Amino acid sequence: MIDLVTLTLRAGNGGNGRVSFRREKYVMKGGPDGGDGGNGGNIIVRVNSKLGTLQHLAGVHEITAQNGGNGGKRNKFGPKGEDIVVEVPPGTLLWLEAENGASRSRRLKYSLRWRTPKGDIHHKHYFIEKEGQSIPEREENTLEPTAKTRLIEMGVESPEIILSQGGFGGRGNDAFKLASNTTPLEADYGTWGEQKTVTFELKLLADVGFVGLPNAGKSTLLARLTNARPKIANYPFTTLEPHLGILSANSDKGERELVLADIPGLIEGASEGKGLGIDFLRHLEHCQALVYLLALEDSVAAEPSIEPQVKADQLWEQFETLQHEIKAHSDQLSRKKYILAINKADILTPDAATVIEKTFAAHEVEVLVMSGATGVQIPEFIKRINQMVV
């Protein structure tokens, strides 16, 4: 699953104004007629609800919009550069990594979604053209690293933004005409287009997220509750990327659909990069509630020689491990509402189930012993989910 992409976005530069004078037969002094340059193309980011990942941006490193054309004779405006639209799934968070001077000045002065009409901003740098000389080149406006800054979350705060504004066309010499200066040789440079290095970070939009150690049965539970078909096998880390499923549930307001998210299993030390790490936990940040799914290894759960209290203590340690790793990722995520469920009730003895419930109750934590494989207590589990999500 491609859920993290870094791109350099270069909006088009504005075209230069033109220094020109009307030249016609029998017209001795036609006056200035240099046209304005065209605006550079914008780079627009737009939400597409049909997309689920950033796969279409994999391997892309740079996107460059078209420059505006230079102004022409007879007050002809330069052509506008063509805009480029980058589509992203809902829940994509944009982080600024680097920018050029034009981007920084506009970002500090204007809102991200602000679209400037032509002529509002000029660099106030103009060139003087003389007969037989070409327009002098300006120093390039290059990208400079900046402190990582959160820009916007697409689909939550806005469905579409101009992420990199194109430069504005420079004024031709006709705009410099005055009673005291009837033959102006000045014209504006076009302004620089915004250049930014931006990281696109996808966070899935789900109502409930499943958290558990590898082989806790999260994928089995998701498959029972929804039409999702994640990979299920009897070995660790069968889930290598997040999966979503839709649960149809009845509430006081009638039937509704809840989005459930299953992320790869966590292990102790995940916050330090062990296993698959905690990178996938960002997909749970939009969830209203979490499901902590605990389970013993089959050989332990079904072994009669192991005391029920030992099994209960192992499950409590699992719960503490999960909470520690989630808190290491985000304190806000650790404070979300949650349901605590013990999976694989079909291979636990009634005595063991009772001891487990009492052990968690002693810590003032309510627990539900259930089975995603056989459906034991699944209706009660759905009821609790429905009550947890507003």
Q: Report the CATH number at residue 108.
A: 2.70.210.12
Residues 121 and 60 in one domain: yes
Residues 247 and 298 in one domain: yes
| Residue 193 and residue 40 in contact, taking contact as beta carbons nearer than 8 Å | yes
Highest-pLDDT range among 9-13, 222-226, 321-325: 9-13
How many other CB atoms are there within 10 angstroms of residue 189's CB atom?
Answer: 25
Q: What is the pLDDT of residues 28-57, one digit of tens each?
A: 777 888 889 999 999 999 999 888 788 899
Instruction: Look at residues 202, 218, 238 and tell me which one is the last residue of a structural domain.
Output: 202
Residues 367 and 308 in one domain: yes
Residues 157 and 219 in one domain: no
Q: How many domains does the chain have?
A: 2
Residues 195 and 329 in one domain: no
Helix (H) or strand (E) holding 318: helix 308-329
Q: What is the pLDDT of residues 209-240, one digit of tens each?
A: 888 888 778 888 888 888 756 555 454 445 55
Long-range contacts of 25-30 (CB under 8 A, 24+ apart): 29/182, 29/183
What DSSP letter does each residue of 76-133 carry, written as one string?
Answer: PPPPPPPPEEEEE-TTEEEEEEEE-HHHHHHHHHS-TT--PPTTS---S-EEE--TT-
pTM for the model? 0.70
Residues 178 and 213 in one domain: no
**Helix 308-329, helix 350-362: angle, nearest 10:** 50
Residues 9 and 48 in one domain: yes
Residues 118 and 220 in one domain: no
CATH number where 288 lies: 3.40.50.300
Q: What is the pLDDT of residues 286-322, one digit of tens each?
A: 788 888 998 888 888 878 888 989 999 999 998 998 8
How many Å apart are CA 20 and CA 100, to the nearest integer? 32
| pLDDT bucket at 253, cuts 50 / 70 / 90 | low
Residues 31 and 155 in one domain: yes
pLDDT at residue 237 in the model:
47
Residues 6+ apart with CB under 8 A from 328: 271, 278
Instruction: Look at residues 202, 226, 253 and tell me which one is the last residue of a structural domain.
Output: 202
Domain hosting residue 241, numbered range: 208-388
Residues 180 and 255 in one domain: no
Weakest-pLDDT range from 111-115, 173-177, 318-322: 111-115
Residues 359 and 221 in one domain: yes
| Residue 45 and residue 5 in contact, taking contact as beta carbons nearer than 8 Å | no
Residues 170 and 257 in one domain: no
How many Å apart are CA 98 and CA 83, to the nearest integer? 21
Instruction: Look at residues 156, 185, 202 and tell me which one is the last residue of a structural domain.
Output: 202
